[in-house]
Structure formats: structure tokens, C-alpha cells
């Protein structure tokens, strides 16, 4: 039985491969575009089908996902023996070791929780993933993205106001327009980072499945990397100038520090890891 959001599909096939799609609205040609489904289907066509644990674990290994950027993908794999009431559990797409549970014995224990990673040998790749901080597992980071976006937008308006108030300012219309546009672009990108979890795990630059705008926004970190040197040079010159007002100096320096902070964050999140 396949349970879809608005449909149930029942069948009696001796074996069946399923991946991340709804069979009722996805034909086989479309389904085969997914690597894990295609690997599983090809494996079953090329092998003699048998219900052994070795065969099932080999099939699971063939279909597992391990993304190159952070190593995330298939966290748990379970193989069920419904006749003997046994479950073999595999952790973090590693099939060299397994833990077997007897369902009858586990049910006799009543409600209880098991720390799965502690059942398996230490896995450094998983530990790195578990300690990987994103706005989706660290609320403080999401709040920080919102605050930084608000500050960058405020700086844009303040610089524009300074130009209107003092036309003889060393910060010219071209400077204000450039910094303001970059700030607003970064603010939009920070919103994208706060609302799209897959950016932190899929290959960079991230390609959204349905939004070209989000896909294009993934080049924002590279644009920031490109302009950071000339913008820092401009900020230093204005900071040293006696003609530049103190509050404008404070805005320019603070703005540049936010850029540097974002560069470090983008690097940590692997947004520059195009070589993967």
C-alpha cells in the first residue's frame, strides 16, 4: 500500500520500488530522472530477487543518498522481516554494521526511546552534520538574519537621506546607489536563506526546483565576494577623510563589517563550495 496525500494505492506485486514522488501523478519516465529510483529499479532488473537480508541491504545501499557538500542524505534504513518479527536498522547510509531488534521484545518494554547514534560506531561525518548550524536548527541564527536584513535596509535609507541633506557630501549618488542596491539585494537573499532549508545541504550554487528567482539569488554570495575589496577600500578612504561626517563613517564601517560577517557565514554554510 502506498499512502499519498490524497490517494491510496494498493498492489500485489512481489517487489516494488518507490522514491520521493507520488506514483499516481508521476510516470516511469519522470521517476527515472531521480537517481535513487533509477538505481533501485535497475538493480532489481539485473539481480535475482530473493528476500535475504544481504539482498535487501545491497538494494538499500544502491538506493542510498549521500550528498557531496555536507554528507547528508539517508539517515536511517530499516529492513523488516514480518514473518520473524525482526527489524534490522542501518544508520547514516553505512551498511557495514547493523542493529537488530525483536519487535515482540521491544513492545513488551512499553513506551521507550532509543538514542540511535549511540548504537553504532562513531561516525565523524555524521558528527559534523549533527553540529552543523543553520537558521533551521538554531533559532538565534534566523533572528540574526532578520535583524541584519533590517539593518542593511536602514543603512540604505540613511545614506540616501545623507545625500539629500548634503549634496556636497563625499558619498556621491553613485556610491549611495551602489551600496543601497547591494544592501537591498542582500536583504532579499537573507530572506531566501531564512525560508529555504535545502540551500544549506544541496550543491552550490543552489538550484530551486520551481523558482528561477531563488536560483539566480544563489549567486549573491559570489557578487559580495567580488565587490568586498573595492568596497572596503572605499570605506577606508571615507573613514580617513576629515570631510566625511562621523555618523556616515559609522554607517559605512558598520555596513562593511556586516558584509564581512556575511562572507564568513556564507563560507561556513558552503555557499562557495562549487567544486563539489
pLDDT, one tens digit per residue, over 227-236 is 999 999 999 9
26 and 97 housed in the same domain? no
Check if the beta carbon of residue 116 is closer than 8 Å to that of residue 164. no
The answer as to whether 59 is a domain residue is: no
DSSP assignment letter at 2: E
In this predicted structure, what is the pLDDT of residue 6? Answer: 83
Nearest alpha carbon to residue 223 among 274, 174, 272: 272
> HSE on the CB side for 182, CA within 13 Å?
21
pTM of the model: 0.80
CB 152 within 8 A of CB 183: yes
Q: Indicate whether 276 belongs to any domain.
A: no
Grade residue 206 by pLDDT with cuts at 50, 70 and 90.
Answer: very high
What is residue 132's predicted lDDT score, i.e. its pLDDT? 93
Both 146 and 103 in one domain: the answer is no
Whether 64 maps to a domain, the answer reads no
Which of 78, 113, 131 is at the close of a domain? 131
Look at the chain and report how many structural domains it folds into. 3
Of residues 46 and 172, more confidently modeled: 46
- Residue 78: predicted pLDDT: 95
Burial environment of residue 12 by CB neighbours within 10 A (0 to 12, 13 to 18, 19 or more): exposed
153 shares a domain with 234: yes
Q: Does 205 sit behind a cis peptide bond, omega within 30 degrees of 0 on the bond before it?
A: yes
Q: Is residue 275 part of a domain?
A: no
70-74, 112-116, 142-146, 196-200: least confidently modelled range:
70-74
- The rounded radius of gyration (Å) of the Cα atoms in the chain is 26
Q: Which domain holds residue 6?
A: 1-49
Question: 210 and 144 share a domain?
Answer: yes
Amino acid at each position: 500500500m502506498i499512502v499519498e496525500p490524497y490517494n491510496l494505492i494498493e498492489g500485489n506485486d512481489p517487489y516494488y520500488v518507490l522514491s520521493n514522488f507520488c506514483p499516481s501523478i508521476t510516470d516511469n519516465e519522470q521517476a527515472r530522472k531521480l537517481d535513487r529510483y533509477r538505481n533501485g529499479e535497475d538493480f532489481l532488473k539485473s539481480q535475482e530477487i530473493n528476500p535475504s537480508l544481504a539482498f535487501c541491504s545491497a538494494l538499500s545501499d544502491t538506493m542510498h543518498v549521500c550528498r557531496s557538500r555536507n554528507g547528508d542524505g539517508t539517515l536511517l534504513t530499516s529492513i523488516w522481516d514480518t514473518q520473524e518479527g525482526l527489524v534490522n536498522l542501518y544508520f547514516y547510509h553505512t551498511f557495514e554494521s547493523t542493529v537488530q531488534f525483536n519487535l515482540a521484545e521491544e513492545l513488551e518494554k512499553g513506551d521507550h526511546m532509543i538514542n540511535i547514534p549511540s548504537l553504532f560506531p562513531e561516525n565523524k561525518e555524521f558528527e559534523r552534520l549533527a553540529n552543523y548550524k543553520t537558521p533551521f536548527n538554531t533559532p538565534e541564527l534566523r533572528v540574526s538574519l532578520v535583524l541584519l536584513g533590517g539593518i542593511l535596509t536602514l543603512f540604505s535609507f540613511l545614506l540616501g537621506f545623507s545625500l539629500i541633506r548634503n549634496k556636497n557630501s563625499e558619498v556621491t549618488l553613485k556610491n549611495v546607489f551602489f551600496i543601497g542596491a547591494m544592501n537591498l539585494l542582500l536583504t532579499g537573499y537573507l530572506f531566501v536563506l531564512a525560508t529555504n532549508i535545502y540551500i544549506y545541504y544541496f550543491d552550490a550554487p543552489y538550484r530551486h526546483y520551481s523558482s528561477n528567482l531563488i536560483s539566480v539569488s544563489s549567486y549573491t554570495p559570489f557578487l559580495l565576494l567580488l565587490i568586498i575589496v573595492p568596497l572596503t577600500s572605499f570605506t577606508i578612504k571615507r573613514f580617513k577623510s576629515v570631510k566625511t561626517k562621523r555618523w556616515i563613517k559609522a554607517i559605512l564601517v558598520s555596513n562593511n563589517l556586516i558584509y564581512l560577517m556575511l562572507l564568513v557565514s556564507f563560507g561556513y554554510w558552503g555557499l562557495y563550495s562549487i567544486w563539489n
